[in-house]
Amino acid sequence: MQSRKQRLLRQHRRSKRLGLLVGLLLIALLGIFVSPWLVPVLLLAAWVAHEAWLADHLFYSPRDDYRYRFPAEVPEFPVVLADGRLQVQGEPDLQGDETLLLEWRVKSNWLGRLRDPQVWLGDDCQEFERGVDGLRWLNLSGQAAALAAGRLQVGTRDCRLLGQGRLVVCRHPDHARQRLMVIAPHADDAELAAFGLYRRAVEVSIVTLTQGEIEARHFRRLGLDGAAAARLKGRLRTWDSLAIPLWGGVPQSRCVQLGYYCLQLPEMRKAPERGFGSRESGESDIRSARTFNPLRLPGDTDGVPCWRNLVADLRVLLEHFRPEAVVTPHPELDPHADHVAATQALREAIEQSAWKPTSLLLYANHLHDNDRWPMGPAGAGVALPPAIEPLPADSLWSPSLCPQTQLDKAMALRMQHDLQSPLPAKKRLRRRIQRVLAGRRWPNTGEDEFFRKAVRRHELFWVRPLDISSTD
């Protein structure tokens, strides 16, 4: 999965370099045959245009359709627009707690190539790619009453809805009433994906797999060398993984830090008996991060950071906490190598465990194709992410977060040491340009992009019933 993202990134950069070369050639010709004063003016204008409209990593055409499949038992209903309101054809029998997904063809106008096109659903705004012209999926979850009564108003900015829509109704129990386990490859993944869910869960455990020690250059400002900076960052993020869940009501006795090392999980899987120490800190004993764990685990015996220990640790945790559902990264949608490996390790542990959860709740904190998803401002709804290549036919569950929970989620992210790094000057300038020319907005809660992307009206999970006979 990660290799696919790297391939898309290389193609994106190659196309951008080619466009840059052609643009420079045209500017040079204008400078030669028209006026040399045009060269600096056009170079500045081209750079501003790039920062305003071309700096996103969008590895597909805005004209591509999103291709989603759902299980055969998930009901679908045609929807039309009448006097600016959604009218559902048929009898969906909405109770109010369903996950409601609306497919519609969205087409931008010419202003929609300069500003992000918006679709308004009542008081919720969901945004799409500039220049969009394809099938997209809107999230109506939490608005069942207005939809059932025919009162849900729809508006657009810089785009229009073509033809008629298709409503998909996903019905699930409230998984917050089940025993839950959240698998976090790194400190902050649990909060990014599921703070609203675990905050109201009746019984939840949070298992963080890695120390999160790499990319510690900001800590070198304290006079530390690279290895010492990585060790300090690992200690701080280990503390984050155990302490911050208390802000969401999860006691430290139900939080576990396994202490493996960042970006080593895929290598561990290739050689299950071999230990893989940190790439940056110089450490190779996972026991240094396990001091405050509430129970003894198989990896505590020798401290070797190997796949065998990771799977054994997860097996013991499954049998100890006995979750009915496990929240874990989506192995086909989230391309981060550690995220993919985390779910693979979980599946192996479930296969070996005497305790069998009934379902996986899959999340995506990263994407292959679009580094802005969820698009739009903080507090808005979460439309479905791009699925240019069809995903497995999973049902979806999208619980709503009230404004107070969104604020508490933002504060949980603000405590995360990895989300406190100052914004580079180039990105700060880019945001100012985009604010003026593209109309984009960022929240006051924090500068990291995750404060915009993760603090939303919805959280989103793909529900995959557990079939042990088909282990990933």
106 with 248, same domain?
no
pLDDT band with cut points at 50, 70 and 90 for residue 1? very low
Q: In this structure, is residue 70 part of a structural domain?
A: no
Q: What is the CA radius of gyration of the chain?
A: 24
Least confident of 30-39, 136-145, 346-355, 398-407: 30-39
User: What domain count does the chain have?
Assistant: 3
Query: Does 23 have pLDDT greater than 80?
Result: no
What pLDDT sits at residue 16? 66
Q: In this structure, is residue 153 part of a structural domain?
A: yes
Residue 370 DSSP label: B
Least confident of 94-98, 222-226, 468-472: 468-472
Q: pTM, whole model, 2 decimals?
A: 0.92
Cα–Cα dist 98/170, whole Å: 6
What pLDDT sits at residue 83? 93
Query: Does 392 have pLDDT greater than 60?
Result: yes
Name all contacts of 243-248 with Cβ < 8 Å and 24+ positions apart: 243/415, 244/187, 244/191, 244/412, 244/415, 244/416, 245/190, 245/191, 245/198, 245/206, 247/408, 247/411, 247/412, 247/415, 248/191, 248/195, 248/198, 248/199, 248/408, 248/412
Q: The tokens of 288 are what?
A: 């240094």
Q: In this structure, is residue 147 part of a structural domain?
A: yes
Q: Look at 327 and 40; give whichever has higher pLDDT.
A: 327
Region of 441 please: left (phi>0), alpha (psi -120 to 50) or beta: beta
Q: In this structure, is residue 304 part of a structural domain?
A: yes
Q: In this structure, is residue 389 part of a structural domain?
A: no
pLDDT > 70 in the chain, percent: 93
pLDDT band with cut points at 50, 70 and 90 for residue 24? low
| CATH code where residue 185 lies | 3.40.50.10320
217 with 336, same domain?
yes
24 with 100, same domain?
no
Cα–Cα dist 15/57, whole Å: 12
DSSP states along 211-257:
---S--GGGGGGT--HHHHHHHHHHHHHHHHHHGGGGGT--GGGEEE
What pLDDT, in 10s, does the model give residues 419-449?
998 899 999 999 999 999 999 999 999 999 9
**CA 224 centroid distance within chain:** 32
Query: Does 309 have pLDDT greater than 60?
Result: yes
Range of the domain at 39: 2-54
213 with 331, same domain?
yes
* Cβ proximity of 235 and 214 under 8 Å: no
Query: Does 347 have pLDDT greater than 80?
Result: yes
